[in-house]
Structure 1
Amino acid sequence: MQILPSPLLVPYIKNYTVVTIEKNLDNEVFYPSGYVDLIINISGGAAATIINGKRKDTPSVELLGHLTLPTRLTVAKGTSVLIVRIYPHASALFFSDPLSEFTNYATDMYDVALGENRDLYHKIMEARELTSKISLLESHFLQQLKKNETRLKKVAVVQALSHHILTDNQSFNITALAKDSGLSERYIQKLYQANIGLSPAAFTAVVRFNKSLQMVLHTQESLTTIAYECGYYDQAHFIKEFKKFTGITPSSSRNSLIQNGSDFQQAVNIGF
């Protein structure tokens, strides 16, 4: 189930999603989405994130930063989570640390701000209706937005740069991006590390990966065609990059979907 945010938060939050696991998941591939996810365990069920082989049990409130390393999920049947999917350019409006601190990490938000996040979690758990839980989250995000409104100008710049990257079918070229935007290459690098948590080149790689992933999972196009359509040098380059993000080949990913389905991935709406 997906619910859209209120109009004031639409530029910053893509959606709220409730996912209930219908069967035990063991070491399931989790594909990098390009978003930052705030994950709230609303069932008390057991789950864990394994990033590059390092396991982290899912706490009450978790922030899953950008992923560029192979990631797996282990989740017990019956576990329900409420996921807030935040646009990559907007995360700095809601979290005080540089976003690079959250990259390739599942952060227990009690470690970031214990009192604030514990109170928020308790209120969410006391609310019976999903609409009430989301209303509490919306109030929290609007408060954070007001507190961090001085960051809006930089966030708008990052959004514009990211839009350029998303719509440009050419290979990433920071020199050209700097020229087009009138900003220095160094400033663009700093903006991305602070506000997105990835370098512009790494963000571009995630975008390209997600485009290729959609084609792998939802079309029967050959790997050569997908590589060409998504801007990889060749099929070998595509497979190497895909494995860097997931630990498996595109063919293995496609076969796994056909054999086992991927209800969890579909529920959280992979990619851009």
Structure 2
Amino acid sequence: MQILPSASLAPYIKNYTVVTIDKNLENEVFYPSGYVDFIVNISEGDAATIINGRRKDTPAIELLGHLTLPTRLSVKKDTSVLIARIFPHASTLFFSDPLSEFTNYATDMYDVAKSENRELYSRMMEANGLDSKIRILENYFLLQLKKNETQLKKVNTLQLLSQKIFNEHSQLDLPTLAKDSGLSERYIQKLYLNNIGISPSAFTSVFRFNKSLQLVLNTSESLTEIAYDCGYYDQAHFIKEFRKFTGITPSASRASLIKNDTDFQQAVNIGF
């Protein structure tokens, strides 16, 4: 189930998604989405994130930063989570720490601001119904937005830069991007690392990966066709990049979805 945010938050949050697991899942592939996910466990269920082989149990509230490493999830049946998917350019409006500190990591938000997030979780769990829980979460985000409104100029700059990358069909030409925007290459690099959490080149790679992923999972195109459609040098380059992010090949990903199509996969394995 996906729910759109309020008009005030729509430029910064893509959607809210409720995922309820109807069977035990072990080592489920979790694809890099290009987004930052704020995850609230709204059930008594158990889950764990395994990033680059390191397992971390999912806490009450978790921030899943940008992923560029192989990632898996293990989830117990009947676990329900509410995910707020935040646009890559907007995360700095809600979290004051440099976003690079969250990259390839599942952070317990009690470690970031314990009293604030404990109060948020308590209020959400006491609320009756999903709509009420989301209203409480939205009020939290609106409060953070007000606190960090001085970051809006950087957020708008990042959005424009990222849109240029999207329009260039998955290729990054940093010198041209700098020249067109009137910014230095060094500043753009710093802007992405501090406010998105990954470099412009890594961001471009994640975008290109997600473009290819949609074709792998939703079409019958050959891997060679997908490679060229998405701007890879050749099929070998495509497979290498795909495995870098997921630990599996595109063919294995396609076969896995056909064999084991779950609500979880449909809900969270959706990127740009």
Equivalence for 1:152: 152
Q: Note if 1:258 corresponds to 2:258.
A: yes
Equivalence for 1:138: 138
Contact 2:165/2:171 (8 A) holds in 1 = no
TM-score, with length taken from structure 1 = 0.99
Aligned amino acid, residue 115 of structure 1 = S
Q: Note if 1:247 corresponds to 2:253.
A: no
**Aligned counterparts, 1:24-63, within 5 A:** 24-63=24-63
Alpha-carbon distance between aligned partners in 2 of 1:268 and 1:4, rounded to the nearest angstrom: 15
Q: Could you list the per-position Cα deviations for residues 86-135 of structure 1 after superposition, in whole angstroms to 9, with x for gaps in the alignment? A: 00000000001000000000000000000000000000000011111000
**Aligned counterparts, 1:90-239, within 5 A:** 90-169=90-169, 171-239=171-239
Please report how far the alpha carbon of residue 44 of structure 1 lies from its aligned counterpart in structure 2 after TM superposition.
1.7
SS in 2 for 1:124: helix
TM-score, with length taken from structure 2 = 0.99
Alpha-carbon distance between aligned partners in 2 of 1:165 and 1:124, rounded to the nearest angstrom: 38
Alpha-carbon distance between aligned partners in 1 of 2:17 and 2:108, rounded to the nearest angstrom: 19
Deviation above 4 Å: which 4+ runs of structure 1? none
Alpha-carbon distance between aligned partners in 1 of 2:118 and 2:170, rounded to the nearest angstrom: 45
SS in 2 for 1:63: strand
The alignment of Structure 1 onto Structure 2 pairs a total of residues equal to 272
The range that moved more, 200-209 or 258-267, is 258-267
5+ residue gaps, structure 1, are none
Equivalence for 2:81: 81
Please report how far the alpha carbon of residue 263 of structure 1 lies from its aligned counterpart in structure 2 after TM superposition.
2.2
Equivalence for 1:22: 22
Please report how far the alpha carbon of residue 269 of structure 1 lies from its aligned counterpart in structure 2 after TM superposition.
5.4
Q: Could you list the per-position Cα deviations for residues 8-66 of structure 1 after superposition, in whole angstroms to 9, with x for gaps in the alignment? A: 00000000010000110000100010000000000020100000000000000000000
Identity value in percent: 75
Aligned amino acid, residue 40 of structure 1 = V
Change (3 A) 1:52 1:170: closer
Change (3 A) 1:170 1:196: closer
Please report how far the alpha carbon of residue 170 of structure 1 lies from its aligned counterpart in structure 2 after TM superposition.
5.6
The range that moved more, 164-173 or 112-121, is 164-173
Aligned amino acid, residue 161 of structure 2 = L
SS in 2 for 1:96: coil
Alpha-carbon distance between aligned partners in 1 of 2:169 and 2:90, rounded to the nearest angstrom: 23
SS in 2 for 1:73: strand
Contact 2:170/2:207 (8 A) holds in 1 = no
